[in-house]
Structure 1
Amino acid sequence: MRSGRQLAYDYLKDTVLSDPSMQGQFVNEQTLADEIGVSRTPIREALLLLAAEELVQLVPKRGAYVAPISGREIRELFELRGVVECYAATRAVELDEVPLETMRAELAAQAAVDGDRAREFIEHDHRFHAALVRAVGNDMLTKTYEGLRARQVRAGVEALLGSDDRKQAVLAEHQAIVDALAARDAAAATAAIEIHLKATRQVLLTA
């Protein structure tokens, strides 16, 4: 059974901090405590952990502040994603462990998301890429990638909301990645990943 601190940490990281509308806002400890069903102490403990990860800033007498994602953070995030995901594609092909069934299922689910459900669309986006990273079988690599999740989801939602045609572009870019992996063409897969990440990064940096 997860502790109150772990519940608070997971909720903050997976729900609150990945929400673009929280950028530039202070976290309301009491509201979160009520939503999760814990006291304010676990909330504060979780915020200390998140501050250590630089996901929030603790401001004296004000509380935890969710700073807007900066251009530098965007560039660094996508640079790191490129390194991890391109390595994962190459290694998965080498090991013959490409998770095509899972990736195709996530792509199909993503394509079925309609309306303004940007968060749901990007959750499938994350699982699409994470499946490839997990396939390599390197636990440390997987944990490193999962540590990017809050920033990745927030950036993805922002990019989706910042460009009218980004949804269809993402689906086409994901399909290109799947097609290259299905052909066991590591070079084409890494090129498709790089094109995909560059396109999202560009939307964010020009928004």
Structure 2
Amino acid sequence: MPSGRELAYAHLKDAVLSDPAMQGQFVNEQALADEIGVSRTPIREALLLLAAEELVQLVPKRGAYVAPVGGREIRELFEVRAVVERYAARRAIELDAVPVAEMRTELDGQRALTADDEARAFIDHDHRFHAALVRAVGNDLLTKTYDGLRARQVRAGIVALYSSGDRRKAVLAEHEAILGALVAGDAAAAEEAITAHLAATQQVLIEG
């Protein structure tokens, strides 16, 4: 059974930090403790872990601050994603290991989500779509590195959806282009489609 700290860490990382309403806000430790059903000590321990990952900022006498997604964070996140995902596309094609069925399932799951309050679920599918490709390479270290980006990726993706009303439809088309190139075994086209997809999301975030 997960410890109080583990429960608090998971909830903070998966729910609180990805909530657009928390951008630029301080975490209410007592409210979170009541919501999860733990004392404030596990909450504080979890916040220390998140601060070490630079996902929150600890401000003396005020608590944990969730900084808005900034330009440098956006740039660095998408630079790393581009390197990993383009490599994964080419390598998966070389290994004849493209997880077509798994990626199609995630894309179909995204397509079924149309309501505004389903943004989080949409982005969860988004992460699994890309993560399936990275995992297919069979490099555990690469997979762990990519999984380490999940909180930032989900957070950025949700903010992008709320920043642009057309972004959801565009993501579906961009994912179709990526999957189509992978199915065709065209590594260059797959890399190009991934580059275009990431650049489009990054542009939405920069423009706000």
Q: How far is 1:151 from its partner?
A: 1.2
How far does the alpha carbon of each residue in 1:58-78 deviate from its partner, in whole angstroms, 9 at most, with x for none? 111111000111111111111
How do residues 156-171 of structure 1 correspond to structure 2 at under 5 angstroms?
156-171=157-172
Aligned to 1:153: 154
How do residues 128-207 of structure 1 correspond to structure 2 at under 5 angstroms?
128-207=129-208
Q: How far is 1:195 from its partner?
A: 0.3
| Aligned-partner Cα distance in 2 for 1:97–1:51 | 37
| Aligned-partner Cα distance in 1 for 2:130–2:181 | 14
| Aligned-partner Cα distance in 2 for 1:163–1:29 | 31
TM-score (norm: length of structure 1) = 0.97
Q: Judge which range, 118-127 or 188-197, deviates more.
A: 118-127
| Aligned-partner Cα distance in 1 for 2:140–2:37 | 32
- Structure 2: runs of 5 or more not aligned: none
Counterpart amino acid of residue 82 in structure 2? G
Counterpart amino acid of residue 164 in structure 1? G
Counterpart amino acid of residue 35 in structure 1? E
1:46 and 2:49 are equivalent in the alignment: no
Aligned to 1:20: 20
Instruction: Find runs of 4+ consecutive structure 1 residues off by over 4 angstroms.
Output: none
Aligned to 1:118: 119
| Aligned-partner Cα distance in 2 for 1:18–1:144 | 19
How far does the alpha carbon of each residue in 1:120-154 deviate from its partner, in whole angstroms, 9 at most, with x for none? 11111111111111111112211111111111111
Q: Judge which range, 185-194 or 139-148, deviates more.
A: 139-148
Counterpart amino acid of residue 28 in structure 1? N
Q: How far is 1:93 from its partner?
A: 0.9
> How many residues are treated as equivalent by the alignment?
207
| Aligned-partner Cα distance in 1 for 2:100–2:71 | 33
Q: How far is 1:165 from its partner?
A: 1.3
| Aligned-partner Cα distance in 2 for 1:140–1:16 | 27
- Structure 1: runs of 5 or more not aligned: none
Counterpart amino acid of residue 205 in structure 2? L
In structure 2, the residue corresponding to 1:161 is in which secondary structure? helix
Q: How far is 1:90 from its partner?
A: 1.0
Aligned to 2:93: 93
How far does the alpha carbon of each residue in 1:144-190 deviate from its partner, in whole angstroms, 9 at most, with x for none? 11111111111111111111211111100000000011011111111
| Aligned-partner Cα distance in 2 for 1:113–1:56 | 29
Aligned to 1:4: 4
| Aligned-partner Cα distance in 2 for 1:144–1:10 | 18
Counterpart amino acid of residue 36 in structure 1? I
In structure 1, the residue corresponding to 2:55 is in which secondary structure? coil
Percent identity reads 75
In structure 2, the residue corresponding to 1:65 is in which secondary structure? strand
Aligned to 1:127: 128
| Aligned-partner Cα distance in 2 for 1:161–1:5 | 30
